[in-house]
Amino acid sequence: MILYQLKCSGGHEFDAWFRDSASFEEQCSDGDVECPFCGVTKVSKALMAPNLSTGAAHSVAVEERAKEVARKILRAVNDLRDTVEDNCDYVGDKFAEEARRIHYGETDERGIYGEATPEETTDLDDEGIDFYHVPWSSRRDN
């Protein structure tokens, strides 16, 4: 497992674990790596100092710990997704439009979720409209 320090096109830095360099490249090119701060999927490796371990037992322990942390994160993301889906209305790509309508009192206040472009989220933020970017993993049957 490799811990990379990443940087999005918006300038945010964050860390992420990958099985190897090829896994990072593949996930990045597929758009599966997104900034946890703004949701942008244009990310690259930031400058970082290598952190290498020479002990095989240490490597196995670190890999197992990383896998357990990843499982917990995925469980939490899936639990969050279930809660949002159970309690909020899906508005698809009309999220920004519907968030404005709720904010300005043009429709009933309620929880909504959907998709918005980085430009739309910037505009919502500039207007003082509260929203949260939630990490959303694809449903997988495996």
Instruction: Give the pLDDT confidence of 83-109 residue by residue, as tens digits.
Output: 999 999 999 999 999 999 999 999 999
Q: How far is CA 64 from CA 7, 68, 69, 71, 113, in A?
A: 26, 6, 9, 11, 34
Q: How far is CA 8 from CA 50, 71, 77, 110, in A?
A: 20, 24, 21, 31
pLDDT band at 7 (very low <50, low <70, confident <90, very high): very high
Burial letters 63-82, b for 16+ CB under 10 A, else e: eeebeeeeeeeeeeeeeebe
Q: Which pTM value belongs to this model?
A: 0.53
pLDDT of residue 142: 41
Mean pLDDT of the chain: 86
> In angstroms, rounded to a whole number, what is the distance separating the alpha carbons of residues 19 and 2?
6
pLDDT of residue 86: 95
Does residue 53 register a pLDDT over 60? Answer: no
Listed by start position, the domains of the chain span 2-83, 88-126
Summarize the confidence of residues 35-52 as an average pLDDT.
80
Tell me how crowded residue 140 is: count the other CB atoms within 10 A of its CB: 7
DSSP-derived 3-state class of residue 66: helix
Helix (H) or strand (E) holding 50: none
Q: Yes or no: say if 23 and 70 are a contact pair by the CB < 8 Å rule.
A: no
Instruction: Give the pLDDT confidence of 59-90 residue by residue, as tens digits.
Output: 778 888 888 888 888 888 888 889 999 999 99
